[in-house]
Amino acid sequence: MAGWILWVAVQVVARDPFPPEISVSQYGLGGAGWLFSVWAVVLASSPLLLLRSRPVPGPAGAFLAVGWSGSAVMAVVRTDEGLQQMSWHAQVHMAGAVLALVFLPLGIAAAMTWARRPWRRLSLLLPAAAAIAGVALLLAAVGLDSAGFGPARSWAFWQGTLVVIEMLLVGLYALVVDTIDPRSVRADRGAPVQSAIQ
């Protein structure tokens, strides 16, 4: 819930409602840029805390750790103002954003493969939507008007859409975390429960 409140707050303070004029990262500029930093860290920390409450085997922890690191970089290192984001710190910020946008959804999806049905299936639909938005984002990055707003605004739209999908995934994860149990899922798939305990 805090992530959604902060997401709205950064837009209100910047007077730039979704979709942003240039990019989500522009919310981190100016005197109230700290709100953006807090939002990025809160968003990335939530799935790590949920994973700690319900540990699962597999790559979820590693994916979430990489995603959290990317968010931390994005929170601390600012981008440039305006469309031309070419400075070294803007490039570092962008690298952090890419890690966050890719690895946080992967980590959540990996953790939720251990949730009960139908949550497992739903946890795959949102990353699939994120993949589609990611392709549209890449098309906008090479100059195609993939959202009908012009290439620059399309970039901002798809970037914001990826963020919203990520926040929906975090919310879904929080909603169904109590159903995550590697032992019951393995039993449901026909594997002996004994093997899940070992």
- Asked whether residue 195 is assigned to any structural domain, the reply reads no
Number of domains, the chain: 1
Alpha carbons within 13 A on the beta-carbon side of 165? 26
Cα gap 156→112, rounded to integer Å: 29
- Asked whether residue 194 is assigned to any structural domain, the reply reads no
Tokens representing residue 189 in the block = 């798939």
- Asked whether residue 192 is assigned to any structural domain, the reply reads no
Residues 6+ apart with CB under 8 A from 100: 40, 44, 67, 68, 70, 71, 74, 166
- Asked whether residue 193 is assigned to any structural domain, the reply reads no
User: What is the pTM (predicted TM-score) of this model?
Assistant: 0.83
pLDDT in tens, 67-87: 999 999 999 998 888 766 678
pLDDT in tens, 105-138: 999 999 998 988 788 777 788 888 988 888 888 8
Residues 6+ apart with CB under 8 A from 32: 10, 13, 14
pLDDT at 144: 82
User: Residue length, the chain?
Assistant: 198
With a pLDDT cut of 90, the percent of the chain lying above it is 29
Domain containing 63 equals: 2-181
Cα gap 90→132, rounded to integer Å: 25
Cα gap 46→22, rounded to integer Å: 27
- Asked whether residue 97 is assigned to any structural domain, the reply reads yes
pLDDT at 60: 94
